[in-house]
Structure 1
Amino acid sequence: MTHLLHLDSSARSRSFSRTLTGLFATAWRAANPASTYTHRDLVASPVPPIGEAWTEICDHLLTHRITDIDRYAEAVTTPARRAAWATVAPLLDELVAADVVLIGAPMYNYSVPAALKAWLDQVTFPRMDLSGRSFVVASARGGSYQPGAPRAPFDHQERYLRDFFAGHYAVTDVTFVTTELTNALVDPVLADLRPDQEASHAAALAQVDELVARFTSAP
Protein backbone atom coordinates (compact mmCIF):
# COMPACT_ATOMS: atom_id res chain seq x y z
CA MET A 1 0.00 0.00 0.00
CA THR A 2 1.33 3.42 -0.94
CA HIS A 3 0.69 6.87 0.45
CA LEU A 4 0.30 10.15 -1.44
CA LEU A 5 1.02 13.46 0.28
CA HIS A 6 -0.59 16.33 -1.64
CA LEU A 7 0.43 19.93 -0.91
CA ASP A 8 -0.98 23.10 -2.48
CA SER A 9 0.62 26.53 -2.12
CA SER A 10 -1.11 28.75 -4.68
CA ALA A 11 -2.80 31.87 -3.32
CA ARG A 12 -5.52 31.39 -5.93
CA SER A 13 -8.35 29.01 -5.09
CA ARG A 14 -8.73 28.28 -8.81
CA SER A 15 -5.21 28.12 -10.12
CA PHE A 16 -3.41 26.17 -12.79
CA SER A 17 -1.19 24.46 -10.24
CA ARG A 18 -4.20 23.43 -8.14
CA THR A 19 -5.91 22.12 -11.26
CA LEU A 20 -2.91 19.95 -12.08
CA THR A 21 -2.47 18.62 -8.54
CA GLY A 22 -6.20 17.99 -8.27
CA LEU A 23 -6.26 15.97 -11.47
CA PHE A 24 -3.21 13.97 -10.42
CA ALA A 25 -4.58 13.25 -6.94
CA THR A 26 -8.03 12.27 -8.22
CA ALA A 27 -6.62 9.89 -10.83
CA TRP A 28 -4.05 8.48 -8.41
CA ARG A 29 -6.68 7.75 -5.77
CA ALA A 30 -9.00 6.14 -8.31
CA ALA A 31 -6.18 3.88 -9.48
CA ASN A 32 -5.07 3.13 -5.89
CA PRO A 33 -8.30 2.56 -3.91
CA ALA A 34 -6.46 0.63 -1.19
CA SER A 35 -3.82 3.30 -0.68
CA THR A 36 -3.84 6.31 1.62
CA TYR A 37 -3.90 10.02 0.92
CA THR A 38 -3.21 13.25 2.79
CA HIS A 39 -3.98 16.73 1.48
CA ARG A 40 -2.56 19.85 3.11
CA ASP A 41 -3.47 23.30 1.82
CA LEU A 42 -0.59 25.53 2.88
CA VAL A 43 -2.61 28.68 2.16
CA ALA A 44 -5.84 27.74 3.91
CA SER A 45 -3.83 26.41 6.88
CA PRO A 46 -0.51 28.29 6.81
CA VAL A 47 2.57 26.80 8.38
CA PRO A 48 4.30 29.35 10.65
CA PRO A 49 7.91 30.39 10.05
CA ILE A 50 10.55 28.61 12.07
CA GLY A 51 11.64 30.29 15.31
CA GLU A 52 14.60 30.14 17.66
CA ALA A 53 13.41 26.96 19.37
CA TRP A 54 13.41 25.23 15.97
CA THR A 55 17.05 26.23 15.49
CA GLU A 56 17.85 24.80 18.93
CA ILE A 57 16.37 21.47 17.88
CA CYS A 58 18.48 21.59 14.75
CA ASP A 59 21.64 22.38 16.78
CA HIS A 60 20.89 19.48 19.13
CA LEU A 61 20.60 17.07 16.22
CA LEU A 62 23.94 18.26 14.86
CA THR A 63 25.70 18.18 18.21
CA HIS A 64 24.52 14.68 19.04
CA ARG A 65 24.99 13.37 15.50
CA ILE A 66 21.39 12.18 15.33
CA THR A 67 20.62 10.90 11.84
CA ASP A 68 17.56 8.72 12.48
CA ILE A 69 14.34 10.68 11.89
CA ASP A 70 12.60 8.49 14.48
CA ARG A 71 14.98 9.92 17.10
CA TYR A 72 14.44 13.60 16.30
CA ALA A 73 12.06 13.99 19.24
CA GLU A 74 15.01 13.43 21.57
CA ALA A 75 15.97 17.06 20.92
CA VAL A 76 12.70 18.31 22.42
CA THR A 77 13.98 19.10 25.90
CA THR A 78 12.49 22.50 26.85
CA PRO A 79 8.99 24.03 26.85
CA ALA A 80 9.92 26.24 23.88
CA ARG A 81 11.19 23.27 21.92
CA ARG A 82 8.07 21.28 22.77
CA ALA A 83 5.95 24.10 21.39
CA ALA A 84 8.04 24.18 18.22
CA TRP A 85 7.88 20.41 17.90
CA ALA A 86 4.09 20.49 18.16
CA THR A 87 4.15 22.30 14.81
CA VAL A 88 6.85 20.17 13.23
CA ALA A 89 5.76 16.68 14.27
CA PRO A 90 2.54 16.30 12.21
CA LEU A 91 4.18 17.86 9.15
CA LEU A 92 7.18 15.58 9.41
CA ASP A 93 5.02 12.51 10.03
CA GLU A 94 3.05 13.24 6.85
CA LEU A 95 6.21 13.65 4.81
CA VAL A 96 7.95 10.54 6.12
CA ALA A 97 4.82 8.44 5.56
CA ALA A 98 4.59 9.43 1.89
CA ASP A 99 5.80 7.36 -1.03
CA VAL A 100 4.85 10.09 -3.49
CA VAL A 101 4.87 13.80 -2.61
CA LEU A 102 2.75 15.97 -4.90
CA ILE A 103 3.40 19.70 -4.61
CA GLY A 104 1.47 22.51 -6.27
CA ALA A 105 4.08 25.27 -6.58
CA PRO A 106 3.36 28.25 -8.83
CA MET A 107 6.25 30.55 -9.61
CA TYR A 108 6.07 33.71 -7.52
CA ASN A 109 8.68 36.38 -8.24
CA TYR A 110 10.98 33.87 -9.94
CA SER A 111 10.85 31.45 -7.00
CA VAL A 112 8.42 29.49 -4.79
CA PRO A 113 5.51 30.84 -2.72
CA ALA A 114 6.30 31.84 0.85
CA ALA A 115 3.70 29.33 2.06
CA LEU A 116 5.70 26.48 0.53
CA LYS A 117 9.04 27.86 1.75
CA ALA A 118 7.69 27.93 5.33
CA TRP A 119 6.71 24.26 5.05
CA LEU A 120 10.11 23.33 3.63
CA ASP A 121 11.87 25.13 6.47
CA GLN A 122 9.79 23.36 9.11
CA VAL A 123 10.33 19.82 7.81
CA THR A 124 14.03 20.02 6.99
CA PHE A 125 16.65 18.94 9.50
CA PRO A 126 20.31 17.87 9.19
CA ARG A 127 21.11 14.62 7.41
CA MET A 128 17.56 13.78 6.41
CA ASP A 129 17.33 10.87 4.00
CA LEU A 130 14.10 10.52 2.06
CA SER A 131 15.62 8.62 -0.82
CA GLY A 132 13.28 6.17 -2.48
CA ARG A 133 10.42 8.66 -2.51
CA SER A 134 9.16 10.40 -5.62
CA PHE A 135 8.31 14.10 -5.84
CA VAL A 136 5.98 15.60 -8.43
CA VAL A 137 5.85 19.39 -8.69
CA ALA A 138 2.93 21.00 -10.53
CA SER A 139 3.92 24.50 -11.51
CA ALA A 140 2.34 27.48 -13.25
CA ARG A 141 4.26 30.47 -14.59
CA GLY A 142 3.13 33.78 -15.95
CA GLY A 143 5.83 33.84 -18.63
CA SER A 144 8.06 31.35 -20.37
CA TYR A 145 11.20 30.04 -18.71
CA GLN A 146 11.99 27.22 -21.09
CA PRO A 147 15.63 26.77 -22.17
CA GLY A 148 16.44 29.46 -24.72
CA ALA A 149 13.66 31.80 -23.58
CA PRO A 150 14.85 35.33 -22.63
CA ARG A 151 13.83 34.80 -19.02
CA ALA A 152 15.19 31.29 -18.64
CA PRO A 153 18.09 32.56 -16.44
CA PHE A 154 15.51 33.97 -14.00
CA ASP A 155 14.09 30.56 -13.17
CA HIS A 156 15.00 30.22 -9.49
CA GLN A 157 12.04 27.95 -8.86
CA GLU A 158 12.73 24.61 -10.51
CA ARG A 159 16.48 24.73 -9.90
CA TYR A 160 15.95 25.65 -6.26
CA LEU A 161 13.52 22.79 -5.64
CA ARG A 162 15.65 20.22 -7.46
CA ASP A 163 18.73 21.28 -5.50
CA PHE A 164 16.75 21.34 -2.26
CA PHE A 165 15.33 17.84 -2.67
CA ALA A 166 18.67 16.39 -3.72
CA GLY A 167 20.81 18.31 -1.24
CA HIS A 168 18.62 17.97 1.86
CA TYR A 169 16.59 14.85 1.22
CA ALA A 170 18.82 12.78 -1.12
CA VAL A 171 15.84 12.63 -3.50
CA THR A 172 16.56 12.69 -7.22
CA ASP A 173 13.25 11.32 -8.54
CA VAL A 174 11.65 14.72 -9.11
CA THR A 175 9.28 15.48 -11.99
CA PHE A 176 7.98 18.92 -12.94
CA VAL A 177 4.65 19.41 -14.70
CA THR A 178 4.47 23.00 -15.86
CA THR A 179 1.89 25.28 -17.45
CA GLU A 180 3.60 28.39 -18.84
CA LEU A 181 2.49 31.78 -20.14
CA THR A 182 -0.57 32.01 -17.89
CA ASN A 183 -0.32 35.81 -17.96
CA ALA A 184 -1.30 35.67 -21.62
CA LEU A 185 -4.85 35.07 -20.42
CA VAL A 186 -5.04 38.38 -18.56
CA ASP A 187 -2.39 40.69 -20.03
CA PRO A 188 -3.42 42.26 -23.36
CA VAL A 189 0.25 42.74 -24.25
CA LEU A 190 0.68 38.95 -24.25
CA ALA A 191 -2.59 38.11 -25.98
CA ASP A 192 -0.83 36.83 -29.09
CA LEU A 193 0.79 34.12 -26.94
CA ARG A 194 -2.51 32.55 -25.92
CA PRO A 195 -2.15 29.67 -28.40
CA ASP A 196 1.24 28.91 -26.87
CA GLN A 197 -0.29 29.02 -23.41
CA GLU A 198 -3.04 26.63 -24.44
CA ALA A 199 -0.49 24.26 -25.94
CA SER A 200 1.59 24.38 -22.78
CA HIS A 201 -1.39 23.59 -20.59
CA ALA A 202 -2.53 20.76 -22.87
CA ALA A 203 0.96 19.26 -22.67
CA ALA A 204 0.87 19.52 -18.86
CA LEU A 205 -2.48 17.74 -18.72
CA ALA A 206 -1.14 14.94 -20.90
CA GLN A 207 1.93 14.66 -18.69
CA VAL A 208 -0.29 14.27 -15.62
CA ASP A 209 -1.96 11.28 -17.27
CA GLU A 210 1.43 9.78 -18.09
CA LEU A 211 2.69 10.25 -14.55
CA VAL A 212 -0.38 8.67 -12.98
CA ALA A 213 0.07 5.68 -15.26
CA ARG A 214 3.72 5.46 -14.23
CA PHE A 215 3.02 5.52 -10.51
CA THR A 216 0.04 3.19 -10.61
CA SER A 217 1.25 0.56 -13.07
CA ALA A 218 2.00 -2.86 -11.66
CA PRO A 219 5.71 -3.55 -11.05
Structure 2
Amino acid sequence: MPRLLHLDSSARTQSHTRELGARFAARWREARPDGDYVYRDLARQPAPVIGEAWTSICDTLLAEQITDPADYPCAVRTPAEREAWAIAEPLLNELLEADVVLVGAPMYNFGIPAALKAWIDQVTFPRMSLTGTSFVVVGARGGSYAEGAPRAPYEYQESYLRDFIAGHFGIDDVQFLTTELVNALVDPLLSDLLGTHRASRTAALAEVDALAERVSTP
Protein backbone atom coordinates (compact mmCIF):
# COMPACT_ATOMS: atom_id res chain seq x y z
CA MET A 1 0.00 0.00 0.00
CA PRO A 2 1.68 3.25 -1.11
CA ARG A 3 2.04 6.06 1.39
CA LEU A 4 2.35 9.79 0.81
CA LEU A 5 3.89 12.01 3.49
CA HIS A 6 2.82 15.62 2.90
CA LEU A 7 4.72 18.40 4.67
CA ASP A 8 3.73 22.07 4.64
CA SER A 9 6.05 24.81 5.90
CA SER A 10 4.53 28.02 4.56
CA ALA A 11 3.87 30.64 7.24
CA ARG A 12 0.77 31.72 5.31
CA THR A 13 -2.55 29.97 5.82
CA GLN A 14 -3.35 30.58 2.15
CA SER A 15 -0.30 30.47 -0.08
CA HIS A 16 0.86 29.48 -3.53
CA THR A 17 3.03 26.77 -1.98
CA ARG A 18 0.08 25.30 -0.09
CA GLU A 19 -2.00 25.50 -3.27
CA LEU A 20 0.51 23.38 -5.20
CA GLY A 21 0.91 20.92 -2.35
CA ALA A 22 -2.82 20.46 -1.82
CA ARG A 23 -3.30 20.00 -5.57
CA PHE A 24 -0.61 17.32 -5.78
CA ALA A 25 -1.92 15.49 -2.71
CA ALA A 26 -5.47 15.50 -4.07
CA ARG A 27 -4.42 14.18 -7.47
CA TRP A 28 -2.16 11.54 -5.90
CA ARG A 29 -4.95 10.32 -3.65
CA GLU A 30 -7.41 10.21 -6.54
CA ALA A 31 -4.99 8.01 -8.47
CA ARG A 32 -4.26 5.88 -5.40
CA PRO A 33 -7.56 5.35 -3.54
CA ASP A 34 -5.93 2.49 -1.64
CA GLY A 35 -2.98 4.62 -0.54
CA ASP A 36 -2.18 6.07 2.87
CA TYR A 37 -1.89 9.82 3.36
CA VAL A 38 -0.04 11.44 6.26
CA TYR A 39 -0.08 15.22 6.65
CA ARG A 40 2.08 17.41 8.87
CA ASP A 41 1.90 21.19 9.00
CA LEU A 42 5.31 22.28 10.21
CA ALA A 43 4.31 25.93 10.38
CA ARG A 44 1.35 25.25 12.67
CA GLN A 45 3.01 22.50 14.72
CA PRO A 46 6.74 23.16 14.36
CA ALA A 47 9.36 20.63 15.29
CA PRO A 48 11.70 21.95 17.98
CA VAL A 49 15.25 22.78 17.01
CA ILE A 50 17.71 20.05 17.87
CA GLY A 51 19.77 20.29 21.05
CA GLU A 52 22.89 18.76 22.53
CA ALA A 53 21.16 15.50 23.43
CA TRP A 54 20.26 14.96 19.78
CA THR A 55 23.89 15.49 18.79
CA SER A 56 25.09 12.99 21.40
CA ILE A 57 22.78 10.36 19.89
CA CYS A 58 24.44 11.00 16.52
CA ASP A 59 27.88 10.70 18.11
CA THR A 60 26.99 7.25 19.43
CA LEU A 61 25.57 6.17 16.07
CA LEU A 62 28.86 7.14 14.43
CA ALA A 63 31.12 5.68 17.09
CA GLU A 64 29.32 2.33 17.13
CA GLN A 65 28.64 2.23 13.38
CA ILE A 66 24.87 1.95 13.82
CA THR A 67 23.33 2.51 10.40
CA ASP A 68 19.99 0.69 10.53
CA PRO A 69 17.21 3.02 11.76
CA ALA A 70 15.64 0.06 13.53
CA ASP A 71 18.71 0.03 15.77
CA TYR A 72 18.79 3.78 16.50
CA PRO A 73 17.12 3.34 19.92
CA CYS A 74 20.27 1.47 21.03
CA ALA A 75 22.06 4.82 20.93
CA VAL A 76 19.51 6.47 23.22
CA ARG A 77 20.77 6.08 26.77
CA THR A 78 20.50 9.14 28.99
CA PRO A 79 17.31 10.86 30.20
CA ALA A 80 18.10 13.87 28.01
CA GLU A 81 18.62 11.63 25.00
CA ARG A 82 15.32 9.89 25.66
CA GLU A 83 13.56 13.25 25.67
CA ALA A 84 15.23 14.18 22.38
CA TRP A 85 14.39 10.82 20.84
CA ALA A 86 10.73 11.14 21.87
CA ILE A 87 10.57 14.16 19.56
CA ALA A 88 12.61 12.75 16.68
CA GLU A 89 11.28 9.19 16.56
CA PRO A 90 7.70 9.84 15.36
CA LEU A 91 8.94 12.31 12.75
CA LEU A 92 11.56 9.86 11.55
CA ASN A 93 9.07 6.98 11.39
CA GLU A 94 6.74 9.03 9.20
CA LEU A 95 9.61 9.67 6.82
CA LEU A 96 10.85 6.08 6.74
CA GLU A 97 7.37 4.71 6.10
CA ALA A 98 6.67 7.01 3.15
CA ASP A 99 6.97 5.99 -0.49
CA VAL A 100 6.52 9.58 -1.68
CA VAL A 101 7.47 12.67 0.32
CA LEU A 102 5.76 15.88 -0.73
CA VAL A 103 7.52 18.94 0.66
CA GLY A 104 5.93 22.39 0.58
CA ALA A 105 8.91 24.74 0.67
CA PRO A 106 8.45 28.42 -0.15
CA MET A 107 11.50 30.62 -0.53
CA TYR A 108 12.12 32.89 2.44
CA ASN A 109 15.14 35.20 2.29
CA PHE A 110 16.75 33.16 -0.49
CA GLY A 111 16.39 29.87 1.44
CA ILE A 112 13.88 27.51 3.04
CA PRO A 113 11.66 28.27 6.06
CA ALA A 114 13.17 27.70 9.49
CA ALA A 115 10.30 25.31 10.30
CA LEU A 116 11.34 23.03 7.45
CA LYS A 117 15.00 23.17 8.42
CA ALA A 118 14.10 22.21 12.00
CA TRP A 119 12.23 19.14 10.69
CA ILE A 120 15.16 18.18 8.44
CA ASP A 121 17.50 18.35 11.40
CA GLN A 122 15.23 16.19 13.56
CA VAL A 123 14.96 13.36 10.99
CA THR A 124 18.52 13.33 9.65
CA PHE A 125 21.01 10.92 11.17
CA PRO A 126 24.47 9.74 10.10
CA ARG A 127 24.74 7.59 6.97
CA MET A 128 21.01 7.44 6.37
CA SER A 129 19.69 6.11 3.08
CA LEU A 130 16.19 6.57 1.69
CA THR A 131 16.81 4.77 -1.58
CA GLY A 132 13.51 3.98 -3.26
CA THR A 133 11.68 7.00 -1.85
CA SER A 134 10.48 9.70 -4.24
CA PHE A 135 10.59 13.37 -3.25
CA VAL A 136 8.42 16.11 -4.72
CA VAL A 137 9.13 19.68 -3.67
CA VAL A 138 6.59 22.41 -4.41
CA GLY A 139 7.13 26.05 -3.66
CA ALA A 140 6.71 29.69 -4.53
CA ARG A 141 9.11 32.59 -4.79
CA GLY A 142 8.57 36.33 -4.69
CA GLY A 143 10.84 36.97 -7.65
CA SER A 144 12.35 34.88 -10.39
CA TYR A 145 15.37 32.76 -9.55
CA ALA A 146 15.26 30.48 -12.56
CA GLU A 147 18.40 29.74 -14.51
CA GLY A 148 19.43 32.84 -16.43
CA ALA A 149 17.49 35.25 -14.23
CA PRO A 150 19.48 38.12 -12.64
CA ARG A 151 18.86 36.72 -9.16
CA ALA A 152 19.61 33.10 -10.01
CA PRO A 153 22.96 33.20 -8.10
CA TYR A 154 21.03 33.95 -4.88
CA GLU A 155 18.85 30.86 -5.07
CA TYR A 156 19.47 28.65 -2.01
CA GLN A 157 16.04 27.07 -1.78
CA GLU A 158 15.84 24.48 -4.54
CA SER A 159 19.60 24.05 -4.76
CA TYR A 160 19.92 23.34 -1.03
CA LEU A 161 17.11 20.79 -1.00
CA ARG A 162 18.33 19.09 -4.17
CA ASP A 163 21.89 18.82 -2.87
CA PHE A 164 20.80 17.70 0.59
CA ILE A 165 18.30 15.06 -0.52
CA ALA A 166 20.71 13.64 -3.07
CA GLY A 167 23.87 14.08 -1.01
CA HIS A 168 22.65 12.77 2.33
CA PHE A 169 19.71 10.50 1.53
CA GLY A 170 21.18 9.22 -1.75
CA ILE A 171 18.08 10.07 -3.79
CA ASP A 172 18.20 11.36 -7.35
CA ASP A 173 14.43 11.16 -7.83
CA VAL A 174 13.58 14.71 -6.72
CA GLN A 175 11.09 16.82 -8.66
CA PHE A 176 10.66 20.58 -8.16
CA LEU A 177 7.55 22.55 -9.14
CA THR A 178 7.61 26.28 -8.49
CA THR A 179 5.38 29.31 -8.91
CA GLU A 180 7.55 32.35 -9.60
CA LEU A 181 7.12 36.09 -9.13
CA VAL A 182 4.29 35.98 -6.58
CA ASN A 183 5.33 39.42 -5.32
CA ALA A 184 3.99 40.84 -8.56
CA LEU A 185 0.58 40.52 -6.91
CA VAL A 186 1.46 43.05 -4.19
CA ASP A 187 4.57 45.01 -5.27
CA PRO A 188 3.84 47.92 -7.64
CA LEU A 189 7.43 47.75 -8.88
CA LEU A 190 6.75 44.26 -10.24
CA SER A 191 3.31 44.96 -11.70
CA ASP A 192 4.61 44.65 -15.27
CA LEU A 193 5.51 41.01 -14.47
CA LEU A 194 2.03 40.02 -13.34
CA GLY A 195 1.36 38.19 -16.60
CA THR A 196 4.60 36.24 -16.21
CA HIS A 197 3.60 35.25 -12.68
CA ARG A 198 0.18 34.07 -13.82
CA ALA A 199 1.75 32.00 -16.59
CA SER A 200 4.16 30.48 -14.07
CA ARG A 201 1.32 29.55 -11.72
CA THR A 202 -0.72 27.98 -14.52
CA ALA A 203 2.28 25.97 -15.70
CA ALA A 204 3.11 24.79 -12.18
CA LEU A 205 -0.45 23.59 -11.57
CA ALA A 206 -0.43 21.68 -14.85
CA GLU A 207 2.92 20.11 -13.98
CA VAL A 208 1.55 19.10 -10.58
CA ASP A 209 -1.31 17.20 -12.20
CA ALA A 210 1.00 15.39 -14.61
CA LEU A 211 3.59 14.55 -11.97
CA ALA A 212 1.04 13.26 -9.46
CA GLU A 213 -0.16 10.81 -12.08
CA ARG A 214 3.37 9.65 -12.94
CA VAL A 215 4.46 9.25 -9.34
CA SER A 216 1.27 7.31 -8.62
CA THR A 217 1.83 4.81 -11.43
CA PRO A 218 4.02 1.75 -10.75
Which TM-score applies when normalising by structure 2? 0.99
Inter-partner Cα distance in structure 2 for 1:31 and 1:148: 36
Match of 1:129 in 2: 129
Corresponding residue number in structure 2 for 1:210: 210
Q: Does 1:41 align with 2:46?
A: no
CA contact (8 A) 2:27 2:213 kept: no
**1:26 to partner: Cα distance:** 1.0
Query: Which amino acid in 1 is paired with 2:12?
Result: R
Q: CA deviation at 1:166?
A: 1.1
State the 1:100 CA deviation: 0.3
**Structure 2 partner of 1:179:** 179
The residue that corresponds to 1:60 in the other structure is: 60
Shift of 1:216: 2.0
Deviations 1:83-110 (A, max 9, x none): 0000000000000000000000000000
Matches within 5 A, 1:68-79: 68-79=68-79
Aligned residue for 1:40, secondary structure, equals strand
Runs of 4 or more consecutive aligned structure 1 residues displaced over 6 Å after TM superposition: none
TM superposition shift of 1:30: 1.6
- Gaps in structure 2 of 5+ consecutive residues: none
Superposed CA deviations along residues 21-55 of structure 1, whole A, max 9, x for unmatched, are 00111111121111101000001101000000000
Partner SS for 2:211: helix
Give the corresponding residue for 2:156. 156
Structure 1 unaligned runs (5+)? Answer: none
Measure the CA separation in 2 of the matches of 1:41 and 1:31: 23
Corresponding position: 1:201 with 2:195? no
Mean alpha-carbon deviation: is it higher for 27-36 or for 126-135?
27-36
Measured in 1, the distance between the counterparts of 2:122 and 2:193 equals 39
**Identical positions, percent:** 62
Distance 2:93 2:212 in 1: 24
Measure the CA separation in 2 of the matches of 1:162 and 1:212.
Answer: 19
CA distance in 1, matches of 2:29, 2:163: 29
Question: Alpha carbon RMSD of aligned pairs, Å?
Answer: 0.6
Residue aligning to 1:113: 113
